[in-house]
A = this chain, B = another copy of it.
């Protein structure tokens, strides 16, 4: 059993990439609020990754600020930095995501810079 259940808000729009074999991977961070002693509010910023069909769904339906419930497993991944140091990073590999709010329609998102157009990969204008 390795089960994580989080309710939080996207700290950023999801980023969707593709592996060489063509698998979609979405990654984003959610802010999970916590009530610290003395009525203080703090947040943990927790990295989420989603794969394949769930990754596409995230890319198409989630935006910064939106509240979700994420269910998944906690993974500690090792990698090497450019200068050869070993590092560990923790992330939640999502198995299931529930949208607790509707997506903000495009005309009141400041994120979409090109009127919602989608460009073939080699033409993205920056």
A24 at the B interface (CB under 8 A): no
Please pick, from B3, B34, B76, the residue contacting A4 in the complex, using a CB distance under 8 A: B3
A32 at the B interface (CB under 8 A): yes
State A90–B73 Cα separation when bound (angstroms).
13
Cβ contacts A36-72/B at 8 Å (1 or 0 each): 0000000011100000000000000000000101010
In the complex, the answer to whether A69 meets B7 with C-beta atoms within 8 Å is yes
Q: Which of chain B's residues have a CB closer than 8 A to the CB of A76?
A: 44-46, 90
State A6–B44 Cα separation when bound (angstroms).
19
State A89–B90 Cα separation when bound (angstroms).
8
A2 at the B interface (CB under 8 A): yes
Q: Which of chain B's residues have a CB closer than 8 A to the CB of A90?
A: 74, 76, 89-90
21 sampled A-B residue pairs with Cβ under 8 A: A1-B5, A1-B6, A2-B6, A2-B7, A2-B8, A2-B34, A3-B3, A3-B4, A3-B6, A4-B4, A4-B74, A6-B74, A7-B98, A7-B100, A34-B73, A44-B73, A44-B75, A74-B74, A74-B92, A76-B90, A90-B90
